[in-house]
Chain A
Amino acid sequence: MTGKRRWTWLLGVLAMAAGFSMMVAAYSAAGTKHKTAATKPIGTLRAVLDTIDYLDPQQAYTGQSWWAMWNVYETLLTYRHVDGPGGYKLVPGLAQSLPTVSRNGKVYKFKLRKGLKYSNGAPVKASDFKWAIKRGFLAQGQGVGFYTDIAGAEAYSKNPTPGGNIPGIIVNNKKRTITVKLVSPRGDFLTILALLFAAPVPGNTGPEIQNGSIPGTGPYYFASYDPNRSFVMVRNKYFKPNRFIPRGTPNRVEVSLIGDANTATQKVSSGQADYSNAAIPPDRIADAKSKGHLVLRQTANTYYFWMNIREAPFNKLKVRQAVNMAINRKSMQTLVWGGLGQSTQNVLPPTYPSYKKLNLYPYNLAKAKQLINQAGAKGAAVKVWTRQVSDAVTAATYYQSVLNSIGLNATLTILPRATYYTTIGNVNTHAQTGWARWLEDYPHPLDWFDVLLNGERITDQDNNNYAWYTNKKTNKEIDQLKKAPVLTPSVNKRWAAVEKQIMQQAPWAPWSNRVFPEYFTKQIGCIHIQRLYGIDLARLCRK
């Protein structure tokens, strides 16, 4: 290479380097600018929820209440603030790390993080966890059934007193340690501890229901609560964000409770609210989409019709199979929620690793009629039960017409929302068939099969197994799988086999995995959905 050429080559390299540097700088600048725009603080978020039940961690049992409370009450373990399946991963919450579990799967040891404080400034003690569990039993909270496997909890539940003891929970406030002992191993116990029912509350909290007045440990606390109208969440100044629990982006969240979906949707469309979780009426969905951000939230849920295998004519397998074949699941998605759902014949929703799509009952009305005739059930009187909620009535009305079309003589009984499940779950009601849905409490197949279809868990009152389904083989397999602590591929396969066994007996006619529309104004960006709890306040931003 000559000297001139060398200089030319060197200048060329320098020019390229300079150009590359400028490109990188420009990209970085653009990135920074973009980042700045994306993280613009949200100030006050005006949200509209359709309803909540309670704002008390030991009592609340609805998705809407949990969405709010997930940001107020932290549990020993919690879930990651990420989209998609990663949101099912358990991470330390108030605990310093994931617990150590004994070899026999019965003893769990936790240590609380240092310097934890409630929103009133009081320190969080290890004994507060024990009090939360005891408080659940004392107040007959809706989630106490999850904790009866703790040693001594069953006995405590029979005669709960504030001074009584659950020997299976050993706490040391000085060392910040919590040890939980179970009577038998339980594969889903960590997810059960992550439920809000187990969120520590100050030891001086009375057992009575206290909506929004219990100090929290999360990024927010409830500043006010006006029953059935509204509540406000504001930042908790004592909260310290960490790797797994970030700070929320809104300074303040004002929540209005509006039951009418049309009104709730209109509030967002007209800019009076930033967000609504109301079920947008199917004929307004396109309009809503054009006026705001419509985000579809896929949660783990299954909508189904149960058939009581103890009651005629559903005590005959052919009748149950006929019903499964007669339901036009695709058509139902449109009729009930404007198409925002996926047809299913599975118990488990498709978000589960144990899910294996079943197609045992293709739509065939003629075959269904034939099966009813073969079973000798033609003209049999059937009472279809449902609850007084718009989508449930629509679905049950369609179901009733299906039963009539295959030769049964079906009538509809609609019960008030508040008494529906207790009525159909009572053995004396002798409910034959009806509408039901299940939304996951925690991401584990046991939350479905053990609660809803394990014959050994049937009770005469408050029974969740509305089909009164029991099968020795299935029950035994569920009991064995209960002990498996980790959902390995082989465990998942076994769950899928259990599901197929059950659906071959057709105690249910599952028909939909619904997606929920979440509706935002166009000014709201960075919309992320945590699979279990919904819209993530930690990542919202204003455009």
Chain B
Amino acid sequence: MAEPATDLTPLGDNAALLAAEEHEVQIVGRSPTYLAWRRLRRNYVALFSLGVFLLIVIACCLAPVYARHIAHTGPNTIHSSEQVRVSGKLRQVVGGGSYYDAKTNTFVVRAVSVLGPTWWHAHGRFVLGADSLGRDVAVRMLYGGLNSLKVGIGSAFICSFFAIVLALIAGYSRGWPDWIISRFFDLIWAFPVLLLAIAIGSALQVNGFHHFGINIEPGSIWIPLLVISYVLIPYIGRPLRGQILSLREKEFIEASVGQGASPLRIMFSDLLPNVASTALVFFTLIIASNILTEAGLSYLGAGVQPPEPSWGNLIADGQDHIRTAPWLAIIPGLAVVLTVLSMNIFGDGLRDALDPRAKVRVEH
């Protein structure tokens, strides 16, 4: 909405005076981007959420630095038989456990104890404790976050790109290209997202993907990334196509056609800028959705493959120890909640800022 021009001086007869006044008081043109930014910067909750998300991203990106200079270990390094000095006392990373007593020819049954969070009392080692194999949970959390974010953000880029291109082609061309693309969207839409992703992910985890000159090995992080991108395409593509179909009928498009603009030019210079705000909102919301899908896939074993950590497989690993070492499942769970929540709130704020009337939502 433009600023009300309350301080304008009424026009006088004197042209020179008028020109002088005009020179002093000008109606400033506001671009839609500027207006959106003004609306967004008043939404403190959205900005706070963006801050939280950026903080998580920065922390995860610093995982190698933390691992190397603070924890002095890698995400997959096993320290089960080591001892760590916590507040001056030596503690076994993985201790206890049953053992076979050859003298009595029986097993002595004892529980396994795993080092809990040291909270910086061990010079930065095992800050969040160790897992059942004696790996540093904090390091794995950060690397896990890095992998989850890579998959979440990477797949959001790929997914959005293909969804926009397909929606533009379908919406602009109409006719049989629209029919084919729409049926393709319907086909994917018809499957529950997680089930479809599990099916494709599991199949690819066996032999990888070696077609069309693309070679992806089993266990590669590209598998969950591409699988998630693929299954979520219609969730952006379908609403965008609808919007483009409606824009296609507007006068400015007819004018462009009349001026002899090429289809590509109309699609990318006239239509795309008009759906850019919607696409941007979808992009932010789909990041949150993708992180959740990745966590679900990895939890079920079809996403990021062990020993590489991701928040999903860290939760899965931790659930076996939920009674004795609850932090193993709770901490990655909280990380997922915080990341998804912050991205969703920011996405909602962005939607309100860009187009308050829009009802953009990712539903599956």
A414 partner, pick from B76, B109, B133, B306, beta carbons under 8 A: B306
Q: Find chain B residues with CB under 8 A from A413 CB.
A: 205, 218-219, 305
Q: Find chain A residues with CB under 8 A from B301 CB.
A: 388, 414, 416
**Quick check: is A335 within 8 A (CB to CB) of the other chain?**
yes
Q: A285 and B109 in contact (CB under 8 A), knowing A339-B97, A419-B206? A: yes
**A400 to B78 alpha-carbon distance, docked (Å):** 11
Interface string of A363-402 (1 = CB under 8 A from B): 0000000000000000000000000101001100110110
What residue of chain A has the Cβ atom nearest to residue B114's Cβ? A283
**Quick check: is B259 within 8 A (CB to CB) of the other chain?**
no
Query: Is the beta-carbon distance between A282 and B97 smaller than 8 angstroms?
Result: yes
Q: A334 and B77 in contact (CB under 8 A), knowing A283-B113, A289-B109? A: no
Query: Is the beta-carbon distance between A338 and B76 smaller than 8 angstroms?
Result: no
Query: Is the beta-carbon distance between A338 and B98 smaller than 8 angstroms?
Result: yes
**A284 to B97 alpha-carbon distance, docked (Å):** 10
**A428 to B148 alpha-carbon distance, docked (Å):** 33
Query: Is the beta-carbon distance between B202 and A283 smaller than 8 angstroms?
Result: no
A400 partner, pick from B100, B307, B321, B324, beta carbons under 8 A: B307
**Quick check: is A411 within 8 A (CB to CB) of the other chain?**
yes
Q: Find chain B residues with CB under 8 A from A393 CB.
A: 306
**Quick check: is A76 within 8 A (CB to CB) of the other chain?**
no
**A305 to B64 alpha-carbon distance, docked (Å):** 32
**A127 to B305 alpha-carbon distance, docked (Å):** 52
**Quick check: is B89 within 8 A (CB to CB) of the other chain?**
no
Q: Find chain A residues with CB under 8 A from B27 CB.
A: none
**A400 to B74 alpha-carbon distance, docked (Å):** 14
A296 partner, pick from B77, B107, B206, beta carbons under 8 A: B107
Interface string of B124-136 (1 = CB under 8 A from A): 0000000011100
Query: Is the beta-carbon distance between A390 and B320 smaller than 8 angstroms?
Result: yes
Q: A415 and B206 in contact (CB under 8 A), knowing A286-B109, A394-B133, A515-B107? A: yes
What residue of chain B has the Cβ atom nearest to residue A388's Cβ? B301
**Quick check: is A328 within 8 A (CB to CB) of the other chain?**
yes
Q: A412 and B307 in contact (CB under 8 A), knowing A281-B320, A339-B98, A397-B133? A: yes
Query: Is the beta-carbon distance between B112 and A339 smaller than 8 angstroms?
Result: yes
A331 partner, pick from B81, B100, B322, beta carbons under 8 A: B81
Q: Find chain A residues with CB under 8 A from B97 CB.
A: 282, 333-334, 338-339
**Quick check: is B111 within 8 A (CB to CB) of the other chain?**
yes
Which residues between 94 and 143 of chain B lie within 8 Å of chain A, taking CB atoms? 94, 96-100, 107, 109-114, 132-134
Q: Find chain A residues with CB under 8 A from B134 CB.
A: 335
> Which residues of A are interface residues toward B (Cβ below 8 A)?
261-262, 281-287, 289, 294, 296, 328, 331, 333-335, 338-340, 342, 388, 390, 393-394, 397-398, 400-401, 411-416, 419, 423, 515
Q: Can you offer 17 A-B residue contacts whose CB atoms are under 8 A?
A: A282-B112, A283-B113, A285-B109, A287-B323, A296-B109, A331-B80, A331-B81, A334-B97, A338-B97, A338-B111, A339-B107, A339-B112, A340-B98, A397-B78, A401-B77, A413-B218, A419-B206
**Given contact pairs A282-B97, A285-B112, A413-B205, a sample of 8 additional A-B residue pairs in the complex whose CB atoms are under 8 Å apart:** A284-B323, A338-B97, A339-B110, A340-B98, A340-B107, A390-B320, A394-B132, A416-B206
